[in-house]
Amino acid sequence: MRNAELWVFIFILGLLGLNWPLLEIFYVNIVAYLFVFWLLLIALVAVASYKYGK
């Protein structure tokens, strides 16, 4: 995957992860889901920026 494709993939993953259907599935544990998803998204951005950053 090229650098631009990776950033678009991360952006779309973030949009899908914070979209209404997934939030409705995890409604009982919404705080835990948002915390874990946000943490994983930040980790993915950190790894991508470290690997492909110049």
| Angle 19-35-8 from CA coordinates, rounded to 5° | 50
Contact 13, 41 (CB under 8 A): yes
* Residue 52 DSSP SS3: helix
Report whether pLDDT(53) > 80. Answer: no
Q: What's the pLDDT score for residue 1?
A: 64
- What residues does each domain of the chain span? 3-52
pLDDT digits (tens, 9 = 90+) for 25-38: 988 999 999 999 99
What one-letter code names the amino acid at 42?
A: I
